[in-house]
Structure 1
Amino acid sequence: MHHLSVTDDSWTGPAIEALASSNVYVSTDVPGYEDLQASLAQTVPADGSIAVVVLPDEAASADQYTFYLLEKLTKGADQQTVILAIGDDLMGDSTALGRDAVLTIANQNEGAGMPTGLVETVQDVKADLPAGGGPGGTDSGGADVLMPVIIGGVVLVAAVGTTVGLIARRRRKPAASRKSADPVPPGIRLRVNRLRELAPSYAAVPGNAIAAETATNIDTLASHVEQLFIRLDAKAGEDQSVIAEAEYSDKLARLVAALDRDYLLDLLTRPDLWDAPDERVDEVREALTAVTTQIVDNIKQVNARKGLLFQVSLDSLIGRSELRDWERQFRKSSGEPQQGDGSP
């Protein structure tokens, strides 16, 4: 069992402690927590592969950054997969499936509300986990023992180890389709992959705090970009995804050019070879922070079923002619059509 400090929030401590002896934890601050706990205990596999944590809406205020509470629970629990509900917001992570796969399932089911969406998420994740981890047969000679559980007037009929709810299941994509279809558009995926390729180069710069910070921020940006399009795919209309792709295709291409080894990394390692190196470094760092902040805001807008708002401009980077040239080279090398940028 991992030991994790929980002094900065009052929610994960009791949950991690409970998960040491159970696969389900429902906060007593959640209305109807006893019935929900009983139902989930019948839904979650008894083999310890999945843990489910349910917290009230107010727990969201303890999220210092996206997935903060989820990461603490994942690190503190022994179960390989953790599904977390904060109010109606569903999320999860899994060493077996990967966070993106679990989040995609959670986002697809989230629209059904609680507890339906949570029950469906557990069932779908359980179906996608590698076979062989479940409990053996029951004392009933292989027949499922049905157990009725009442949640807010809705009767769920639960089999031992498997919930067969009287909850109408919504249509969703088959597991194979979810795994093969990338919700991140191809052009955006190219930029995310390039960002991830660059991060280790910054992390490898010895004794440079800005380079180390940049490596972390690049990884954060790449993760948030993926989350935006995963959630758009699950929760929003296609038009919103197209709008986001158009917005971030250019911005991420400019950031990739600015973060490339020939620009910011060279500025940090050989500032003596550049004019106004500090000014240039600040421009790139501010642009990276601004785009990341806007993407997080967009994710929150998607979660709240609101339209996307874009307010970030990268004018300082656009003004650098060398970055325009490198952006063109990136588009050319990735097979994308060249776009006019207003330069001569």
Structure 2
Amino acid sequence: MSTIEQIIQVCGDRTVCLVDGASISDPDSLASVLPSGARVLVIPAPDQAQSVSSGTVANEFKAATGAQTVVVIEDRAKDRFGVASNGDANKIATELNSQNLPDGGEAVANIASTLVSAGPAPSGGQGDGGAPWIVGAGVLVLVAVGAAVTTLLIRRSRNAKRAVGASRKLEKQLEAALHGENGEFVRDAIDEIRRLAGAYPELGPRLNGLSEHLSELFVRVRSRGTDQQLRLLLVQYRDTLSKLVKALADDYYGDVQRNPQYWSNPQGRLAEVQRAVDSVDLQAVENIRQVNESRDLEFKVALDSLIKAVNDAKLSDVYSDRDPSNPQS
């Protein structure tokens, strides 16, 4: 991570500064609600070997810039904070942590008005030196149209930022839920399913839906379920997703799709994989309902026949005119 001196130099007078690739969901929106005198730094999670805490960073940045309050957000699965303030820094830190939000930017935005004492509000009126009045009906119409277009663009931009923010928030929550060897495997499988959604356009909507439902399932079981349920889901979906991803791989589903002439019953094979995607998706949604309603988790999808078809794909399947007992035929 950058040194404190580098952070001070790079961040300068920025209201919200992202350091070394660290991120929060919507820095622009946060900057727009921070009062004058408040500054936010977002830094990567310090390594254990690093002796400089986020609180030290906050204090030194505050001393160097003259800010009234500095909040340092450590970018983690669940963000942490360091605070330096002319007011009650401990109270601010407590208010941030008590919200129990994974995204630190959202937590800071929720208490932004309390970070410093209120200053004088900027004047909204126009004096003699203000912008001139615009006269003429035609000009007024153009101004109105321009204002409408600007408003629409601003709304679209805000909606896009909210979507990105929601996505980042979900990713952080998912990262917190998927830990350990099984968790890492499931996370990699979800990432691979997302990638395959782009590789197979005809399956794209199904695979995107599946990845969303899987992510939602693990986020919800972490927040609403029990540790036992989370462990059970990780074990079960590691097995299920390993089979599904293997069937969706380029050397099976992709090759059958591109080269049906080299496979026996190619349409049946493709349909079997597609049914498997739908079955796993339906199970994930049902598991979400079971978590929400505190019911026992049920798993009805095994994919054993599918993985057998994948594992048994040999020369006799690819070249149906060959006798597998005679490689020279």
Work out whether the TM-score is over 0.5.
Answer: no
Per the shorter chain, which TM-score range? 0.3 to 0.5
Structure having the higher helix fraction is: 2
Q: Provide TM-score, normalisation by structure 1.
A: 0.42
Q: Provide TM-score, normalisation by structure 2.
A: 0.44
Bigger CA radius of gyration: 2
